Amino acid sequence: MVNRHRIGVVGARGHTGSELLAILERHQAVEVSHAGSRELVGQSVPEIDGLVFEDLSPNQLADLSLDAVFLALPNGVSTPFVEAISEETVIVDISADHRFDDTWVYGLPELFRDKIAGARRIANPGCYATIMQLAIAPFVDELDGVPAVFGVSGYSGSGTTPSPMTDPDRLRDNLMTYRLVEHIHEHEATKYLEHPVRFMPHVHPAFRGLLVTVHIPVGRPTTAEDVAQTFRDRYSEEPLIEIRERAPELRDGTGLTGAVLGGVEVSKDGHNIVVVGAEDNLLKGAAVQAVQNLNLALGLPELTGIL
């Protein structure tokens, strides 16, 4: 029997943690040996038979000498774990804590695969930042102005902490704006595209799923046909990226392992591209991408456990 990599998940009770455990349970090359949740200590992990939740302190986690650890924690609390864990252990941080730390590798495989391979410290991208960059990246060298992104997501993207944005009654038949300037995913896309981006997020009553409409101003006139072909050429070898003729709807991203781009339109003067993107904020926007990063770090086929 082939030895399987021993994996720990901290923050396993959250929305992303649950999705991550479900993927890892069917992963042929890893074994989740520890799942951390202070609130559910001693309770069975629903996604994995025989495993119970533990209250794992940073030092306890470090003493386990695991091959890899996922940190599915709220922003701002990962530091003690990172400081305690051996440099030889792969850490995939799903929070935003290390996305702007240049000593960590930014884990968007379709754009930075070569840097992720073999890395030991990987910052998982934000959900919106993932689809924004996938939409804009093929045209970043032709930009003539600032791309603008209108986004709508389900309320699971706001986490498990009670707030108006996670209140189904408040959201019913409603659409809410939040952080319309200086959103962290705006800064994230700006950093890794090396070009300013503007982003306007909204939350609506669905639990999950994400939709963006992306305006891309370009200096050289183009056509919708050429833009669609550019997308197809750029992502033809990417099994998790689908290019469609029609614009995806929010439900097209819900439950989707990857992401879909489509509905390309171009202004009459050829300088303004609009494309629509959809993904599941908990899957390609979080857990699926985290497992892609784990696989690349451990030298495994990238889609092991995913497809």
Enumerate the H helices of 217-282 as residue ranges: 224-235, 250-253
Asked whether 163 and 174 are in contact (CB, 8 A), the reply is: no
Mind telling me the catalytic residues? 127
* Beta-bridge partners for 176: 203
- Greatest Cα pair distance, the chain, in angstroms, is 63
Task: Tell me the one-letter amino acid at 262.
Answer: G
Distance CA 28, CA 199 (A): 38
Asked if 280 and 209 count as a contact pair (C-beta separation under 8 A), the reply is yes
Nearest to 130 by CA among 301, 286, 307: 286
Neighbouring residues of 233: CB distance < 8 A, sequence distance ≥ 6: none
Neighbours of 78 (CB within 10 A): 23
In DSSP terms, 122 is beta-bridged to: 92, 105
